[in-house]
Structure 1
């Protein structure tokens, strides 16, 4: 589908990560969602994760996606039409934060940019997650939406991110974790150097070739026995 000589620099492509995001979206959100509510997505990419989830579930609500990459958004639009999901899923080629939709949404979903680096001069600048990789995820949590599903990387200050969520009145109500190998984007020397520095500061957790990715469902509520944050932190920092 991608004809560029450097497709991985043009559109995010990691089947393992996208499949896991799709699985988490399906099991943590769509299978339990109130279909009358609106879900908004930050960073839809080429749309495959949501499309796969919609095909596999009975969810009949609406998902509005936002994607800054023009090539990716065009591919998403084409695939949505191919699967006849235009009534359920739309992707706009504009900034998520410029739209007021998140203010009326019941849930935000995202596999947010989480590559840590000093700046965004990367293979894919839109994958830059700030100096510790958690900047965009924290910004999404700052919007105060009732539910937020985020993919959280063990090398992108996961403890700091979870602590930030707790400080904002969220609890971890459910999560799933999968081991992933370092790929094209996370193996870029500039990124690997930043990850190594974070590890020295106790903000990144990984083995030689493996890191952990968690799909985490945060929900606004009072602290309760259902809060799984401690268990999540223990698992995310185990490497």
Structure 2
């Protein structure tokens, strides 16, 4: 493998905004991509992605994960996205990077696919789900709304029955409640990578910023001024995991333990 062919080599940053109708934050995408690459390869004996492949909730334009597929020999990803426009863009990205034989994206509801025979053949899901917390979806980009606390989608994913989840968890979207729900469902934290980010156009929207301030004041997360932390974590129900890093993850997200 060419050492330059790594998931962090994404297109040049273009800011935190919408480009041609798509959300774009190069720093977060690079962190997510590199984390997926490292955690999958680090835990290849724990997570059976080499034999089963990996499912993806919400592929978007596929830039981040297409780079991971290109960088990791043998990795196969089946993505699902509810936006036909996103699927079209994803297919262009995948074709351009030459990984169409190992990365496919279909238009549809991920959870409907998860209940299908194909979905039941895969035990690992990767996702950078919508996580903007707000009272309702009337925000700058409704597709990024994650419910009142910002964790609606990840909680739904936890209940979907997959054994291994590789997901992004932001510090201001009630990660303690998310990890508590995960623990009750038999998940433990194998490992994670955390990164500090500045508020962008969407988290910084006055309506959202005020809601985040209220949530964090009530103990449902953390944000420091105009910054927050996002961790990409591998949650697993494998009995072979020897150490649960949930406490370390909460500390990394600046939450009391």
Q: TM-score, normalised by structure 2?
A: 0.85
Q: Which of the numbers 231, 236, 246 marks the counterpart of 1:229?
A: 246
Does the 8 Å contact 1:66/1:96 carry over to 2?
yes
Residue 49 of structure 1 corresponds to which residue in structure 2?
64
Select between 71-80 and 159-168 the one with higher mean Cα deviation.
Answer: 71-80
Q: Which of the numbers 27, 40, 45 marks the counterpart of 1:29?
A: 40
Does the 8 Å contact 1:11/1:69 carry over to 2?
no
CA shift in 2, pair 1:165/1:194, >3 Å? same
**Rounded Cα–Cα distance in structure 1 between residues aligned with 2:41 and 2:238:** 20
Indicate whether 1:70 and 2:84 are aligned: yes
Does the 8 Å contact 1:31/1:57 carry over to 2?
no
Give per-residue Cα distances to partners, 1:174-206, cap 9 Å, x unaligned: 111000111122112221121111011101201
Structure 1 stretches of at least 4 aligned residues deviating more than 3 Å after TM superposition = 6-9, 30-34, 221-225
Does the 8 Å contact 2:59/2:105 carry over to 1?
yes
**Rounded Cα–Cα distance in structure 2 between residues aligned with 1:97 and 1:223:** 27
Report the secondary structure of 1:13's partner residue: strand
| Residue ranges of structure 2 left out of the alignment (5+ in a row) | 1-10, 12-16
**Rounded Cα–Cα distance in structure 1 between residues aligned with 2:129 and 2:203:** 14
Count, aligned residues: 234
Using the TM superposition, give the Cα deviation of residue 38 of structure 1 relative to its aligned residue in structure 2, in angstroms. 2.3
Give per-residue Cα distances to partners, 1:15-47, cap 9 Å, x unaligned: 111111101110011454341112110011100
Does the 8 Å contact 2:60/2:86 carry over to 1?
yes
Residue pairs, 1:214-225, within 5 angstroms:
214-221=231-238
Report the secondary structure of 1:152's partner residue: strand
| Residue ranges of structure 1 left out of the alignment (5+ in a row) | none
**Rounded Cα–Cα distance in structure 2 between residues aligned with 1:42 and 1:72:** 12
Residue pairs, 1:146-185, within 5 angstroms:
146-185=163-202
CA RMSD of aligned residues (A): 2.0
Using the TM superposition, give the Cα deviation of residue 75 of structure 1 relative to its aligned residue in structure 2, in angstroms. 1.1
Residue 103 of structure 1 corresponds to which residue in structure 2?
120
**Rounded Cα–Cα distance in structure 1 between residues aligned with 2:137 and 2:156:** 17
Q: Which of the numbers 51, 55, 73 marks the counterpart of 1:40?
A: 55
Residue 18 of structure 1 corresponds to which residue in structure 2?
29
**Rounded Cα–Cα distance in structure 1 between residues aligned with 2:206 and 2:112:** 33
